[in-house]
């Protein structure tokens, strides 16, 4: 391990990066000049041909945007690399050849007219050698799926900031653990960060899991589930960019969480990926004007036994089965077919209609089946009407001499109008061939008083009815779906997502023990088809916080890195004012320790409002009451359910929970803390 050599190498690479950036800038300028000159020529040539001119500008704009986008991306990546060009280096021997080595960075760097990259992107297949914990015999899988056997000699990990080498570690002392200790001992940030320099072996295997199959991750709090999912997206886009670009969607639990994770993918060089809540995703399919807001929904679950039982049922497989039974009955009995007759002449019999519906068009969704029946029936009505009119006209012509010319014309118009009226009445009588309003159909199955009582479960049910009746004509083009906080998804929600996206490739992450609504049965995500991964190692909280939080769940949580931290503080408060005083003292102590991001977490909105009114005059506070509020750091007052997925340097937990109403809330709250956790119990 030669520190002087590596410092010299870093200086050399930084100089080369400067040269590359200047070269990219020159290329961009040359491209710009070239396009401007071509435009001048084309405008002069086609100035009298508007269509040719429009066609040219469409093509030129596309070429300009594509070329400039690529060069701008390279410039942006190179500038980021100047801060920290790489974080790892691997020495290895491949198939009895000479010893080779490569540097690993956030992005790859290939110099012009060079065969080998100067820096290898962390997502490249060969980089799996770095994230594997073992030295000696190993292998990686090349892009052509060929196995490459190697002998890993050693690995180095670097700490480089602002172009300066601050540290270098040898693989002999478990480098990733050493770096991980340093990273975890630091304060968190207002937004989730990437982990490319500290990815653990079990995490790397999930990130690089094959694209064609779904991977389902059930991991304890702090195991890096969300971060793994986002890094997997970055890896998939790197490996299958042409296939997956603009075809990946990420679904999260709420807008606060989506804002919290929004910076990870851009930091990994991936921008423009659709990230939205499940509610936003489904609402694009069928719009319901008024829905129960998330805080109201959770509050009602915590306080209303009947509502909670209903939600538990609507999250069950039984609910989907019952809805399927209802829809099958609807399909069978909703349409009271009858003979279609115009002026005593049969157009289509009841049996013919049934045969079309139950046999001939049975492969179609109900609404499209009915539409096809109408397309078959209405021309026959028109033909029958024309045939009847022909008979009437012939009869009138035979008696034309009995009328004056004016009387005859009036009679013809009268007979025609009567026939048209009869035809219109017939078509009106076929109103039973309409499927009806989707929401009203769902209402028959799951009665609700008004739209304000509709929940995500109802929105899912309505969307499911829509898909059953009309088929999926709403979303096209997704090839990979990421679902976070998936423990809260029902079997019906997973079914709707699969039907809407038609994706066979999904990344599903959650924690069975962070499910707020008690499960009716086994958590639905754990019954999905695909490769299942269990993560029991927690990398977030100190060992003492993790041990304390683990008391609230029936699972052993592993703590791979020794970071004991301070004891969990537990105190009692006689009154709410006493709790406020204790909270302010704890926050002051936290800040004196250097903790930056602090959360006061309480059970629900009732508790939050009590604390807010008493705290806001004493300390600066960022209050998060609903999804419209965004967390931007400092000290925050937040409810238990809105804090899911987030982490803070220090947490003050105002505990007014009864034992029978915890529903994993204590586990969720305690595992938000990295370094310090203080619990104030209200008597």
pLDDT tens sequence across 464-496 = 999 999 888 666 678 999 999 999 999 999 999
Flag whether 477 is in a domain: no
What dihedral do alpha carbons 510, 513, 519, 522 form, nearest 10°?
70
Residue 498: band (very low, low, confident or very high) from pLDDT cuts 50, 70, 90: very high
Cβ neighbours of 245 (radius 10 Å): 13
Over residues 429-457, mean pLDDT: 82
3-state helix, strand, coil in the chain (%, to 5): 50, 15, 30
Whether 148 is covered by a domain: the verdict is: no
**Residue where one domain finishes, among candidates 380, 400, 433:** 433
Range of the domain at 408: 340-433
Cβ pair 236, 244 in contact under 8 A: yes
In terms of average pLDDT, the best of 399-413, 492-506, 647-661 is 492-506
Domain assignment present for 521? no
pLDDT value of position 46:
53
Q: Is residue 7 part of a domain?
A: yes
CA 261 to each of CA 191, 379, 593, 601: distance values in angstroms, whole numbers, following the listed order: 6, 56, 26, 20
pLDDT band at 201 (very low <50, low <70, confident <90, very high): confident
> Does a structural domain hold residue 507?
no
3-class SS at 425?
Answer: helix
Predicted pLDDT of residue 411: 84
Asked if residue 146 is part of any domain, the answer here is no
Computed over every residue of the chain, the mean pLDDT equals: 86
Q: Output the six-digit token pair for 654.
A: 């105002």
**Chain position carrying tokens 């937040």:** 638
Region 546-562: what's the mean pLDDT? 78
SS3 for 479?
A: coil
DSSP 261-289: HTTHHHHTT----EEEEHHHHHHTTS--S
In 3D, which of 71, 195, 227 has the Cα closest to residue 122? Answer: 195
| pLDDT score for 626 | 82
Distance between CA atoms of 348 and 363, rounded to whole angstroms? 21
- Answer whether residue 90 shows pLDDT above 50: yes
Q: What confidence score (pLDDT) does residue 656 get?
A: 83
Q: What is the pLDDT of residue 661?
A: 57
**Residue 660 pLDDT grade (very low, low, confident, very high; cuts 50, 70, 90):** low
Tell me the pLDDT tens digit for each residue of 513-536: 888 877 667 889 999 999 999 998
* Residues 6 or more apart in contact with residue 481 via CB below 8 angstroms: 248, 249, 250, 251, 497, 501, 503, 505, 506, 507
Any domain includes 8: yes
CA distance 499 to 503: 8
| 66: Cβ contacts below 8 Å, ≥ 6 apart | none
Percent of the chain predicted with pLDDT > 70: 88
Helix or strand or coil: residue 508? strand
Residue 53, pLDDT score? 47
Q: Return the beta strands (E) in 99-238 as ranges.
A: 99-105, 120-121, 136-141, 147-161, 164-170, 215-219
Query: Is pLDDT of 204 > 80?
Result: yes
Q: Can you tell me the distance from the alpha carbon of 549 to that of 538, in angstroms, rounded to the nearest whole number?
A: 11
Q: Report the run of H or E that residue 653 belongs to, with start and end.
A: strand 648-655
378 pLDDT higher than 80: yes
**DSSP code for 561:** S
Between 24 and 419, the more confident residue is 419
pLDDT given at position 517: 77
Beta carbons of 396 and 415 less than 8 angstroms apart = yes
Predicted pLDDT at 304: 85
Among 31, 48, 83, which residue terminates a domain?
83
pLDDT at 75 over 90: no
Write down the pLDDT at residue 520: 63
Per-residue pLDDT at 372 = 93
- 558 and 676 fall within a common domain: yes
CATH number at residue 565: 3.40.50.300
Quote the pLDDT of residue 638: 94
Q: Which of 399, 417, 433 is the last residue of a domain?
A: 433
| pLDDT tens digits along 266-321 | 888 888 788 999 988 888 788 777 788 888 888 888 888 888 888 999 999 999 99
Question: Are 556 and 426 members of one domain?
Answer: no
Please list the residues that pair with 654 across neighbouring strands: 602, 680
Cβ neighbourhood burial of 522 (10 Å; 0-12, 13-18, 19+): exposed
Question: For residue 401, how many other CB atoms are within 10 A of its CB?
Answer: 7
Band of the pLDDT at 145, cuts 50, 70, 90?
confident
> In sequence order, which residues have a C-beta less than 8 Å from that of residue 489 and are 6 or more positions away?
278, 483, 510, 524, 525
Q: Is residue 532 part of a domain?
A: no
At residue 47 the predicted structure's pLDDT band, cuts being 50, 70 and 90, is: low
The label of the residue with tokens 């705290």 reads 615
Residues 549 and 680: beta-carbon distance below 8 Å: no
Q: What is the mean pLDDT of residues 82-92?
A: 92
Q: How many CB atoms are closer than 10 A to CB 209?
A: 20
Count of domains for the chain: 3
CA distances (Å), 368 to each of 212, 363, 475, 523, in order? Answer: 32, 10, 17, 35
∠ CA(23), CA(263), CA(284), 5° rounding? 115
């Amino acid at each position: 391990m030669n520190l002087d050599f590596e410092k010299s190498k870093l200086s050399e690479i930084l100089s080369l990066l400067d040269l590359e950036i200047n070269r990219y800038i020159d290329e961009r300028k040359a491209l710009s000049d070239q396009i401007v000159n071509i435009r001048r020529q084309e405008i002069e040539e086609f100035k009298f041909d508007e269509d040719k001119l429009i066609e040219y500008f469409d093509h030129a704009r596309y070429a300009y945007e594509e070329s400039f986008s690529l060069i701008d991306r390279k410039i942006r990546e190179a500038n980021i690399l100047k801060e920290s060009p790489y974080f790892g280096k691997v020495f290895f021997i491949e198939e009895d050849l000479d010893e080779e080595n490569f540097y690993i960075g956030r992005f790859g760097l290939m110099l012009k007219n060079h065969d080998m990259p100067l820096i290898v992107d962390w997502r490249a297949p060969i980089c799996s050698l770095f994230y594997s914990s073992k030295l000696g015999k190993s292998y990686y899988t090349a892009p052509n799926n060929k196995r490459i056997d190697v002998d890993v000699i050693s690995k180095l990990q670097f700490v480089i900031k602002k172009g300066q080498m601050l540290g270098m570690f040898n693989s002999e002392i478990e480098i990733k653990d050493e770096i991980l200790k340093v990273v975890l001992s630091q304060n968190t940030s207002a937004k989730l960060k990437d982990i490319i320099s500290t990815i653990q072996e079990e995490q790397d295997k999930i990130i690089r899991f094959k694209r064609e199959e779904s991977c389902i991750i059930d991991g304890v709090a702090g195991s890096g589930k969300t971060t793994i999912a986002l890094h997997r997206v970055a890896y998939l886009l790197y490996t299958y960019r042409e296939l997956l670009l603009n075809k990946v969607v990420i679904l999260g639990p709420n807008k606060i969480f989506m804002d919290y994770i929004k910076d990870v993918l851009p930091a990994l060089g991936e921008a423009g990926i659709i990230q939205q809540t499940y509610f936003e995703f489904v609402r694009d399919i069928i719009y319901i004007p008024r829905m129960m807001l998330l805080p109201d929904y959770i509050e009602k679950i915590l306080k209303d036994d009947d509502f909670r039982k209903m939600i538990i049922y609507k999250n069950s497989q039984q609910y989907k089965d019952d809805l399927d039974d209802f829809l099958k009955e609807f399909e069978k009995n909703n349409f009271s077919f009858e003979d279609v007759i115009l002026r005593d002449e049969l157009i289509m019999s009841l049996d013919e209609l049934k045969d079309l519906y139950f046999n001939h068009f049975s492969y179609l969704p109900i609404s499209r089946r009915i539409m096809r029946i109408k397309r078959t029936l209405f021309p026959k009505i028109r033909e029958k009407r024309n045939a009847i009119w022909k008979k009437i006209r012939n009869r009138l012509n035979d008696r034309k001499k009995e009328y004056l010319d004016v009387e005859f014309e009036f009679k013809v118009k009268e007979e025609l109008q009567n026939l048209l009226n009869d035809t219109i009445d017939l078509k009106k009588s076929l109103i039973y061939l309409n499927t009806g309003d989707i929401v009203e159909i769902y209402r028959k199955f799951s009665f609700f008083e008004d739209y304000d009582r509709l929940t995500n479960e109802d929105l899912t049910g309505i969307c499911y009815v829509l898909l059953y009746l009309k088929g999926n004509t709403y979303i096209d083009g997704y090839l990979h779906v990421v679902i976070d906080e998936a423990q809260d998804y029902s079997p019906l929600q997973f079914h709707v997502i699969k039907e809407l996206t038609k994706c066979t490739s999904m990344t599903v992450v959650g924690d069975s023990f962070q499910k707020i609504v008690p499960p009716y049965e086994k958590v639905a995500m754990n019954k999905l088809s695909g490769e299942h991964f269990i993560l029991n190692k927690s990398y977030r909280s100190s060992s003492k916080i993790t041990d304390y939080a683990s008391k609230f769940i029936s699972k052993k949580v592993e703590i791979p890195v020794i970071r004991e931290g301070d004891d969990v503080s537990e105190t009692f408060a006689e009154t709410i004012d006493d709790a406020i005083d204790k909270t302010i003292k704890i926050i002051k102590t936290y800040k004196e320790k250097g903790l930056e991001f602090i959360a006061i977490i309480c059970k629900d909105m009732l508790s939050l409002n009590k604390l807010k009114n008493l705290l806001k005059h004493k300390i600066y506070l960022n209050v998060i009451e609903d999804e419209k509020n965004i967390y931007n750091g400092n000290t925050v007052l937040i409810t238990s359910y809105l804090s899911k997925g987030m982490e803070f340097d220090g947490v003050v937990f105002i505990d007014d929970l009864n034992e029978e109403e915890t529903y994993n809330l204590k586990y969720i709250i305690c595992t938000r803390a990295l370094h310090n956790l203080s619990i104030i119990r209200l008597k």
